[in-house]
Chain A
Amino acid sequence: MHISEGVLSGPVLATGAAVALAGTAAGLKKLELDRVAQTGMLAAAFFVASLIHVPIGPSSVHLILNGIVGLLLGWAAFPAILTALLLQAMLFQFGGLTVLGVNTVVMAGPALICYYVCGPFVLKSPPVAFTAAFVAGAGSVFLAGILVGVSLVFTGENFLEVAGLVVAAHLPIMVIEGIVTVFCVAFLKKVKPEMLPGYSAGNMV
């Protein structure tokens, strides 16, 4: 899901950087003291997840985990993912420094959408919550694929073709991440429900 250096044109890179910066600023602003550690933990999980490679499908794909990061962090997903991507670019040479903004938006944008779309349902009864968690895990990868397609449109590649390829390559990842997210949500509901979005004492079902 990391777009390499030198593929995108200047305006796309600049737009990506600007959006990523705005998102990160908003995320840092909303980040409360007692959530800092959690944000770091999820950034670390995201950072490491890209090393777990799934050898299924036509291309080389790895776990992304942006669904669970978004679900648990909301706006703080932006700084978390930006940090993790920066370290991946420097240490693993995934992506690169100039495409950092675009890659951040590609992965953190869907994370945020999942937070708003699926977040309200994770504290509901188990069937609803688990469906929402699966949709968050799989949907965030799906949306990230769409965003890769959008970013590459301006380099002359066909949108439907690229987005289709990326999504097809990530189908196994979508299923795996959906399941991982369901397990995480199920575990947190039992052990630490206050980590889930929208928690306040007494609204558990």
Chain B
Amino acid sequence: MKKFLNVFGLICALIFMGHGMAQAHKVTIFAWVDGDRVFTESKFSGGKKVKGGTVTVLDSAGNQLLEGKTDDNGEFSFKTPDADGLTIILTAGMGHRNQWTLSAAELGTAGGDSTAPPVAAAAAEEQPEPVSPTVAIGLSAAEVEAIVARQLEEKLRPLTHMVAESREKGPSVADIFSGIGYILGLVGLGAYVRYRRENRSS
């Protein structure tokens, strides 16, 4: 029993050392569209930037479009290619890999592509005049759309980053305890199976 308590104490100590650091052997990549470029940010969870990781960009059919290396801040950007969705794969060496998918809608709305306009154009036609006549005069629907898109992007940038940050939450205390719970359950199961077998054979 004393041994059991010792081991249990050690495990508890390990948990609380781990909690707060919550870092992992995992790598993440996050990509977003800004203007006509796609930006990517790569990190080992725990916040360490991936330096010199290889970023491979595939289109939705799986053809490789381009490839590049992350800089010292773990960032890599490229001009938005003409594709209906991108899969961006990060290979950080030593068996680390992760990916991020950008849908056609994400590429399209920000890039001013032809996927979104129907709705946007309709809205733009109705709005310009009542909103601000001085600005609206002489502006085509496309130009208004571009302005709105740029403003939206600026407003959304902090949010995009927030999403990126929140995706990198390490394991929670609940995860850790449920894992230990599973193991204890399996120990019980294993002991039960063994016990039955040994009882039967004796």
A37 interface contact, C-beta 8 A:
yes
B25 interface contact, C-beta 8 A:
yes
Q: Is the interface of A mostly helix, strand, loop or mixed?
A: helix
- Contact yes or no, B184 A45, CB < 8 A: no
Which of the residues A1, A37, A39, A87 comes within 8 Å of B179, measured between beta carbons?
A87
The residue among B2, B14, B91 with the most chain A CB atoms within 10 A of its own CB is B14
Given A36-B190, A93-B26, decide whether A53 and B183 contact each other with a Cβ distance below 8 A: no
B48 interface contact, C-beta 8 A:
yes
A-B contact list, 25 entries, CB within 8 Å: A2-B26, A4-B95, A4-B96, A4-B98, A7-B97, A31-B190, A31-B194, A33-B194, A33-B198, A36-B190, A44-B179, A47-B179, A48-B11, A48-B15, A48-B176, A49-B14, A51-B19, A51-B21, A51-B24, A53-B23, A59-B48, A60-B46, A92-B26, A157-B93, A191-B6
For B98, what are the chain A residues with a Cβ–Cβ distance below 8 Å? 4
For A19, what are the chain B residues with a Cβ–Cβ distance below 8 Å? none
Interface of B toward A, CB cutoff 8 Å: 2-4, 6-7, 10-11, 14-15, 17-19, 21-27, 44-46, 48, 91, 93-99, 170-171, 175-176, 178-180, 182-184, 186-187, 190-191, 194-195, 198
- Contact yes or no, B15 A33, CB < 8 A: no
- Contact yes or no, B27 A51, CB < 8 A: no
Determine how close the nearest CB of chain A comes to the CB of B69; give it in whole angstroms: 16
Q: How far is the CA of A3 from the CA of B195 in the complex (A)?
A: 36
Which of the residues A6, A59, A165, A169 comes within 8 Å of B97, measured between beta carbons?
A6
Contact with B along A1-42 (1 / 0, CB 8 A): 111111110000000000000000000000111001101110
Closest to A157 in B: B93
For chain A, the bracket of interface size reads 35 or more
Q: How far is the CA of A2 from the CA of B98 in the complex (A)?
A: 13
- Contact yes or no, B187 A36, CB < 8 A: yes
- Contact yes or no, A83 B183, CB < 8 A: yes
Q: How far is the CA of A31 from the CA of B44 in the complex (A)?
A: 37
A69 interface contact, C-beta 8 A:
no
A104 interface contact, C-beta 8 A:
no
Closest to A103 in B: B95
Which of the residues B26, B183, B194, B195 comes within 8 Å of A44, measured between beta carbons?
B183
A100 interface contact, C-beta 8 A:
no
For B48, what are the chain A residues with a Cβ–Cβ distance below 8 Å? 55, 59-60
A148 interface contact, C-beta 8 A:
yes
- Contact yes or no, B179 A60, CB < 8 A: no
- Contact yes or no, A169 B94, CB < 8 A: yes
For A44, what are the chain B residues with a Cβ–Cβ distance below 8 Å? 11, 179-180, 183-184
Q: How far is the CA of A33 from the CA of B93 in the complex (A)?
A: 42
